[in-house]
Amino acid sequence: MNKEKNKDFNPMERKKVVIIGAGFGGLNLAKKLEKSVYQVILLDRNNFHTFQPLLYQVATGGLEPGNIAYPVRRTFRNVSNFTFKMCNVESINHLETKVITSIGDVEYDYLVLAQGSSTNFFGNAQIEINSLTLKTVSDALDFRSNLMQNLERAINALTEEDKEELVNVAIVGGGPAGLEMAGAIAEMKNYVLPKDYPEINFKLMHVVLFEAGDKLLANMSESASAKALEYLTKMGVEVKLNTQVKNYDGKKVELADGTTFNSETLMWTAGVKGNLIAGLQDQVEAKGGRFVVDAFNHVVPFKNIFAIGDIAIQVQSDYPKGVPMLATTAIQQGVHLAQNFMRVAQQKEPKPYTYFNKGVMATIGKNKAVADIWKLHFSGIGAWFLWMGVHIYSLVGFRNKLVSLLNWTMSYFNYDRPLGLIIRKYNKQKN
C-alpha cells in the first residue's frame, strides 16, 4: 500500500482482498472489512474456524469438536461483500496476481497470507510418521481414539509390560500445549479412567513430559515455569528437563542419552513451522517456514502481499526474534491490517503495527494455571478462572461459549469427562 496505489483507488471498483486461512488472523481481518469498499474472498481447506488453544480439551474428552469449531459461512451471513471458498491453495502466481487453488484460479488486488503453522519435526521422519500432533480437530480426535483403543487392548494384554506400553503416554515439548495435555491426561488417570476401566491397574500408567530445554514455558516468567513444574509433579506427571527425544518407532521412545521409554502413544508439541505456499519462496526471505514482513505486514518486497499470524516474522525493537506466535498476535495484526486497508480507501497513509503484550497464560488442571500479565504473575485458582474466562469470551459463537461453560462447570464438580466413545478407529500408520 503506497501513495501511488492510493491515487488510483476507486470506491466504485471494489478491490479484491484475498485472505488465505480462516484462523484467528484471517477471520478477524475479514470481519473488520465487513461492509467495506473491498470485496473480501476467504480461502480455507475447512469450512470452519478452529479455536486451537482448546484442541487439547477435545483430545482428552473435555469438549466435543463442535464446541471449538464454528462455520465460516455462518459468521458472515448477510455480508454482501464477502465470499468464502473451501479449497486447497496450491501456489501463488505473483506476476499475474492470482492464487492457484484446487477449484480454480482466484485473482487478487491484495493478498493476505494467514494460513498459520504446522508441526515441526526437525527432519525426523520416524517421529513424524509414528507420533501424534495437535494442530487440527482431526489431530485431537486421532489422539482420543488412539488412547481409548490402547486402553481397550490393555485389558486383554498378557503381561504387565505389554499393559504398561499400551497405557503409557509420552508428551514432547514443554510449552503451553504440552503442559495442558500432560495435566489433562494426569487428571484422567487420577479421576476418570479407573472408573471406566476397573480391569486396569493405573499404577502402571506413566505420563511423561520431555523437554529439551532447562525449563518449562520458556517464553514465560521464572515464577510461571517453577509453578507449572510444581503442579505437574504433584499431579503425578514425570517431567524430564534437558532431555531430547532422538527417535520414536511407534513403541519405543529413544532419548539422546541412550535411555528409552516404552509407549504406544507419543504426542509431539515440540515445535512449529509456517505453512509455506509455493510461488513466493524464491522471491522473498523465509526463515523457519515463515515470511519476513515489515512494520506494515508487507511480505518484503511486495506491496500488495501481506502476512499475519504464525506465518509471519515481524521484528520489533522489543522482539528482535519476532513478535510472539500467539493467537492474540494474529488477532491484533488482522485488526490492524483491516484498519490500514480502510485508511488506504480514505486516501490516508497506513500506520505501522506495534505488538501490544496482553499477557500469556497456561492451564495445567483444575484450579491450576499460571499467567503473566504485564509485570504481574498469577498462579493457582485465580489464574485458572482468568484463563477460563478469557477462553470462553474468545470462542466464536454463543452456543459454543454456553456449552463449553456448562461442560467445564460440570467437570469442575465431578472431574468426569464423556470420553469413552471410539467414534472412528485411528490407524497409527500415517503413510
Q: How far is CA 209 from CA 91, 178, 199, 237, 411, in A?
A: 38, 7, 26, 7, 24
Q: How far is CA 341 from CA 97, 109, 318, 335, 426, in A?
A: 18, 12, 26, 10, 45
Q: Which residues pair with 86 in a beta bridge?
A: 44
Cα Rg of the chain, angstroms = 23
- H/E element holding 255? strand 252-255
Q: State pTM to two decimals.
A: 0.89
Asked if 3-45+87-119+272-345 and 129-268+366-414 have one fold, the answer is: yes
User: Hunting for cell 526437525 — which residue is that?
Assistant: 122
What gap in Å lies between CA 261 and CA 263, rounded to an integer?
6
- Going residue by residue through the chain (431 aa), what tens digit of pLDDT does each one get? 544 344 444 444 789 999 999 999 999 999 999 989 999 999 999 999 999 999 999 999 888 888 899 999 999 999 999 999 999 999 999 999 999 999 999 999 999 999 999 999 998 999 999 999 999 999 999 999 999 999 999 999 989 999 999 999 999 999 999 999 999 999 999 999 999 999 999 999 999 999 999 999 998 999 999 999 999 999 999 999 999 999 999 999 999 999 999 999 999 999 888 888 888 877 776 777 889 999 999 998 899 999 999 999 999 999 998 999 989 999 999 999 999 999 999 999 999 999 998 889 999 988 999 999 888 898 999 898 888 888 887 787 777 777 777 776 766 566 666 566 777 778 766 54
| Catalytically active residues, by annotation | 180
Enumerate the domain spans of the chain. 3-45+87-119+272-345, 129-268+366-414
When the candidates are 1.10.357.10, 3.40.50.720, 3.30.70.1150, 3.50.50.100, the CATH number that belongs to 129-268+366-414 is 3.50.50.100
Q: Any idea which architecture 3-45+87-119+272-345 has in CATH?
A: 3-Layer(bba) Sandwich (3.50)
Instruction: Provide the grid cell at 382.
Output: 485465580
